[in-house]
Amino acid sequence: MTKNILVLHTGGTISMTADEMGHVNSSNDNPMNHVAVELNDFNITTIDLFNVPSPHITEYHMYELYQKIKAIGANYDGIVITHGTDTLEETAYFLDTMNVPSIPIVITGAMRSSNELGSDGIYNYLSALRVAGHPKSLGKGVLVVMNDEIHAAKYVTKTHTTNVSTFQTPTHGPLGIIMKHEILFFQTAEPRVRFDLDHIQGTIPIIKAYAGMGDGILRLLRASHIDGVVIEALGAGNLPPEAAKTLITLAQEGLPIVLVSRCFNGIAEPVYAYQGGGADLATNGIMFVKELNSQKARLKLLIAINAGLEGQTLSEYIEG
């Protein structure tokens, strides 16, 4: 049976070329549009939605991508999105939190431009098509396919600046792998709350804690027009006392403050009861996000605010 797959190109290294000096830049003609797909039973529709490097991606691009998928996605059996790797995990998480059609949605990219020796773009693209067209991919949320691995959008992160195996899932590991002739899943994705937003806006900075951190930058937040803040705390979720004191004041004044750990593995949780410890912070209104890194926690809070969540409902969603 022929599978109808929608391919949405958004730019990134997978669409770029390197010049004679080795400098990589965007190409006006996406090389993936010229890939001879050697997969049987696939009917592919391609749309160049935008062509930007992933550091240029904003939540507005993510929202535009969501609106396109919402408008036409149900007409297809699966969707493949090509994307730059620097912010790929954020776009994947954003889409995974939206009310998208119940079809496989796969995001992929490349660590080497299309004309570099050992380029991984075409292989990742063909792998993503295979996963998007596979019945086992249904019901697993938005998937990230890179380097023969299948990852859940919620947990995957970029771990290396240049290595082709950069995308990893700390703590949990990948959902599955891509074999020569099969797609093998050995985990399933968790249920998730999905939103149908009619807009996206807001300013939520990310601040990383460090030894000896004071409250200077945090006091500046009081004079800023922001909608919330994400803190990358130490260890299981702890802060230096001076920084903690000011954050607690901001939380009590009504600013939503979300906390994650700056550790690569593990879960932030309110354990320590000393001043600035996680238990102290949680008691005073700081919300702990489980299992997400700071960039995804920022999107979680941004989405929740745009969905109109506040008070106890906001806390339950953020900490759930």
Active site residue 85: yes
**Distance (Å, rounded) from C-alpha 263 to C-alpha 266?**
7
C-beta neighbour count of 50 within 10 angstroms: 14
Helix (H), strand (E) at residue 13: none
Residue 261 assigned as binding residue:
no
Does the annotation list 85 as a binding residue?
yes
Where helices occur in 133-262 by DSSP H, the ranges are 216-222, 241-252
Select from 126, 54, 36, 124 the least CA-distant residue to 91.
Answer: 54
Q: Which of 2, 10, 82, 85 is catalytic?
A: 85
Q: What's the rounded Cα separation, in Å, for the pair 118 and 114? A: 9
DSSP string, 117-159: TT--HHHHHHHHHHHHT-GGGTTS-SEEEETTEEEETTT-EE-
Q: Which of 17, 84, 24 is nearest to 52 (CA)?
A: 84
**Long-range CB contacts (within 8 A, 24+) of 122-128:** 122/32, 122/35, 124/14, 125/14, 125/32, 125/35, 125/80, 125/82, 126/35, 126/37, 126/38, 126/39, 127/178, 128/80, 128/82
Q: Which residues are annotated as a binding site for substrate?
A: 54, 85-86
Active site residues: 13, 85
Q: Which residues are annotated as a binding site?
A: 54, 85-86
